[in-house]
Structure formats: structure tokens, C-alpha cells
Amino acid sequence: MNFYETFRVAFEAIVSNKVRAGLTMLGVIIGVMAVILLVSIGEGARVYITKELSGLGTNLIVIQPGKTTTSGGFHPPSAGTVRKLTYEDSLALRRRAWLLTDAVPIVLGTGRVKYQNQGRDTTVIGTTAEFERVRNLFVDTGSFVRQEDVDTKAKVVVLGRKVKDELFGEESPLGKNVTLSDARYRVVGVMRKKGMSLGWDVDDVVFIPVTSGQELFDTDAIFEMIASTPRAEDTERAIAQIKDILIRRHAHKEDFTIVTQGAMLETMNTILNVLTAALGGIAGISLLVGGIGIMNIMLVSVRERTREIGIRKALGARNRDIMAQFMIEAMTLSGAGGVIGILLGVGLALLIPVFVDVLPTSVSAWSILMAFFFSAAVGVFFGVYPARKAALQDPIQALRYE
């Protein structure tokens, strides 16, 4: 008995029981759809976060005060041993770490910006001129914080787009004075609109010179430094250089932490791959349930057709012919369910971002292949037992079966 014939017999059996076949397939359809959908949501999150992290700048190295990645052991809190990072540290890096294109100091806080009777609580970032270039955030009109502003502790401010819109509306803010935590600042620039990035509204922020920021927040430390290298390959050496310079300035103690953009990307990737795998695994359970549904229906089908099996055997069907007939029936059910599930899953994955813009999706070829492979495997795995049961029927018993 050739394959085509076996397939046709199986197909006819399925068609003759459309509703039941449809319901059985539904289990696989939902399973495959869930796998593709959830994996594409996981993938989407990964792609989105990778893109956002990369959008922060290129080859970034962030230096933060305090050693946070010491390994092992219990560290009793020892007051005063951690030396803060300072503006001077960033100057030293800029002067001596020749592998770095920039080393930008950051002071971070919140403050209330007021213009006339409008006010807004916002994020205040004290920094230097190079921030623009390193962080890929650019001024739209006017100018950014300049080096002489930093040197002279000038009371100038660059407004984020949202802050400008809130306080000035259509009016041009350039040259106007705003109050920032009871001090008067002159607006020198407005940032380009950027939108949300990793959950942070980049437009709801104001920039002032780092030195003015230290005064504003009454500190001689800085929050962190952002450095960058021209080429990714230089990162390791640049880190060594930074350590070398800072350790010497910090009484031979490594009391700071260096995080690279590459390491962040890698960590995020790892986390999100695990997330994707977990989502896929959960969806896989529903595929498994679908497979059990197939087995269940195939067992019913074998029982119902006991007499048919007997007749076919009496007429010369070998065990393997009967086995093939039921296997192909199971695999047709799961395969067709798989294809429909893939179409639905891919369709939904492409539709979701259209309606829900916080849920990016990314349909990957491997998830489609995997889902199809698994649905076919489910057909084989859950088809074998009923098909074997059918094939090993005793022809006489089967013929007598009512």
C-alpha cells in the first residue's frame, strides 16, 4: 500500500468526522499559536530592549562609585572607606585615558522648575558639553551646556522638550529666566524630542552644568561618569586604563564599579532569552495537552473502527498498513493543526503591536520551525500508541466486534 493511498484513507476518515477532527485540531492549533505568540512577545521584548540599550550611545562605559560586584564573603559596613567619584576624576580620565573619546560626569537629582506661575517637578542632570555626543541626545534650538559654563558654574539650563512645552507652550524660552529650586537660571537651549526610553521619559528633564549641579544639590561628589571608546575592541583596555588612573587617585582602592554597555546588553539578552524560553515552555504545555487530545480521539477512533480494521485485515492489510493508516491520520490532524496554528500565531503576533503599542513582538523563523516540528512530533508521539493498538488487533476479534 503506497503512501498516497494511506494518506487518502486517513484524509477521508478525518473528513467524514469534521467536527470531531476540528475540535481535536483546535488543541494543537491553540498550542502552536501560543508557542509562536509567546515566543514572539519574548523575542520582541529582547529586540526592543537591545535596540534601546544600543540607542543610549556606542561602546559606553559607566563608572559608578562603590564596589558593587565584589564576590563572596560577608562585608561588614565600614563607614567612610568609600571615596566618592568627583568631577576632578572625570577631568583626570579625560586628560590621561587616551583610549576614551569622552568621560562625562553626571550629577542627578530632582528639582522644581518654575516660570512665572507655571511649575514642574522634573529630573535635573548636571553634566558637561560632551554629554550630547556620548548619550545621543541633542539640542534642538539654542545650545547645550558649554565648557565655560562648567568652568564658571554658570546658572544656565537646557530644557527637555516636555518641560519647555509645559512651562512655555508656544513661546520661545531662549534667554528667559526660570527658577530652579530657588535659584535663577537662564534658558540657553531646548532638547530635541526623544520620547520614552527604557521606561524613562527623556523629554521630562533639564540639563545644567555639572558644577552648578553640585552646588544645587550641595555635594562635591558626582553620581556617575559615562565614558565611551571609539571602537568596541578597545573596551577591555580602556577599562584597564580607567582602573589604573582612578585607583591611583583613590588611595589605591578600587572603590568604584565599571559597567559596560556590552555587559549590560549581554545580561539583558541572557535574562530575556530565559524569559522567552520560559514563555515558550509554558505554551509548550498547551501543545502537549493538544497532543493528548489527539491521542484520546485516536483511541476512540480505533475503537469505533475495530470492525473496519478486522475487515481490512481479512482482505489482506498487513499490520503495518493499519499502523500507517492511523499514524498518518494522527499526523494529519496535528500537522494541519500546526499549520493553522502557525498562520494564526504569526498573524496575531504581527497584529498585536498595531493595537497594543507597549507590546512589541518579533516573529522569528526558529520559533515557527520549532512549533511546526513539535506539532508534527506530537502527532507521531501521541499517534503511535493508538495506531499500534489498531495494528495489533486480532482480526477475528475485530470482525466480531459490534
Partner 1 sequence: MIDLTDITKNYRMGEVEFTVLSQVSLAVRKGEFIAIMGPSGSGKSTLMNIIGCLDRPTSGQYRFEQREISTMTDDELAAIRNGKIGFVFQTFNLLPRFSALKNVEVPLIYSGVPARSRKERAAPLLEKVGLADRMQHKPSELSGGQQQRVAIARALVNNPPLLLADEPTGNLDSRSGEEILNILTGLNQQGVTIIIVTHDKDVAARCKRILHLKDGRIVSDEAVP
Binding site for partner 1 (CB under 8 A): 1-2, 5, 12-13, 16, 307-308, 310-321, 395-396, 399
| SS3 of residue 203 by DSSP | coil
Least distance in Å: CB of 50 to partner 1? 55
Least distance in Å: CB of 379 to partner 1? 22
Can you name the residues that pair with 142 across neighbouring β-strands?
189
Least distance in Å: CB of 302 to partner 1? 15
| SS3 of residue 81 by DSSP | coil
Give the gyration radius of the chain's Cα atoms. Answer: 33
Tell me whether residue 3 or residue 98 sits nearer to partner 1 (CB atom).
3
Tell me whether residue 203 or residue 329 sits nearer to partner 1 (CB atom).
329
| SS3 of residue 109 by DSSP | strand
Tell me whether residue 13 or residue 349 sits nearer to partner 1 (CB atom).
13
Tell me whether residue 253 or residue 318 sits nearer to partner 1 (CB atom).
318
Q: SS3 for 118-172, per residue? A: EEEEEEEEEECCCHHHHHCCCEEEECCCCHHHHHCCCCEEEECHHHHHHHHCCCC
Tell me whether residue 255 or residue 321 sits nearer to partner 1 (CB atom).
321
Cα separations (Å) of 193 from 6, 129, 165, 205, 358? 64, 19, 11, 11, 19
Tell me whether residue 381 or residue 401 sits nearer to partner 1 (CB atom).
401
Give CA 249 to chain center in angstroms: 38
Least distance in Å: CB of 311 to partner 1? 5
Tell me whether residue 130 or residue 329 sits nearer to partner 1 (CB atom).
329
Burial class for 392, CB neighbours closer than 10 Å (0-12, 13-18, 19+): exposed
Least distance in Å: CB of 16 to partner 1? 5
Give the whole-angstrom CA distance, residue 144 versus residue 130. Answer: 9
Least distance in Å: CB of 313 to partner 1? 7
Shortest CA distance to 265 belongs to which of 33, 100, 31, 46? 46
Least distance in Å: CB of 301 to partner 1? 13
